[in-house]
Amino acid sequence: MSIITKFAKACTIVVFAATGTQAWADPAAEMKAIIAIDQTWEKAYNGRDADTMAGLYDQNAVLLPPGTPAVKGRAAIKAFFAKDVAASAKDGIVFVLGPNPASGVSGDMGWASGTYVAKDKSGNVLDAGKYLSVSRKKDGKWLYLRDTWNSDGPPPPAAPASAAPAKK
């Protein structure tokens, strides 16, 4: 074996050891896995299963819902969704992800974005918008690190200011 061949094999071993197996993962398969998280989220939301939803988030994830402060940590995210899915169940609201979401992967980090609609029990669209999530693969499982969405519609009108007391 020539010195060049030995050197090439040694370099290959060093590169493999330095990058780990993640560098050799199939990006298309990983992007499908990230999209599958969104599909699991949708199914759990419509099934009113806040436990499954919370399990899709990292322990230190941050949920960034519109019109409310950030929700930090898996336990707080679970509480947020438990309240949200209960209200949706009461009102007969279902959440539907749009077709053809986008996603990307770089090592153990990934993202997904797409569209959604919220419909009432008659099928009327109550809201439509877009979402973006950032995930990390940890112990072979993709988990949301950040998750946000917002409506395509205008924000709801501001509540009227309290009337000032009449002067005497």
Structure confidence by residue, pLDDT tens digits, 9-52: 444 443 344 444 445 578 999 999 999 999 999 999 999 999 99
CB of 77 closer than 8 Å to CB of 57: yes
Judged by DSSP in three states, 6 sits in: helix
Write down the pTM of the prediction. Answer: 0.78
pLDDT digits (tens, 9 = 90+) for 93-134: 999 999 999 999 999 999 999 999 999 999 999 999 999 999
Q: For residue 133, report the phi and psi dihedrals to the nearest 5 degrees.
A: -130, 150
> How far from chain centre, in Å, is Cα 70?
14
User: Scanning the structure block, which residue is given the tokens 């090439």?
Assistant: 8
The full set of domains in the chain, from first to last, is 25-151 (3.10.450.50)
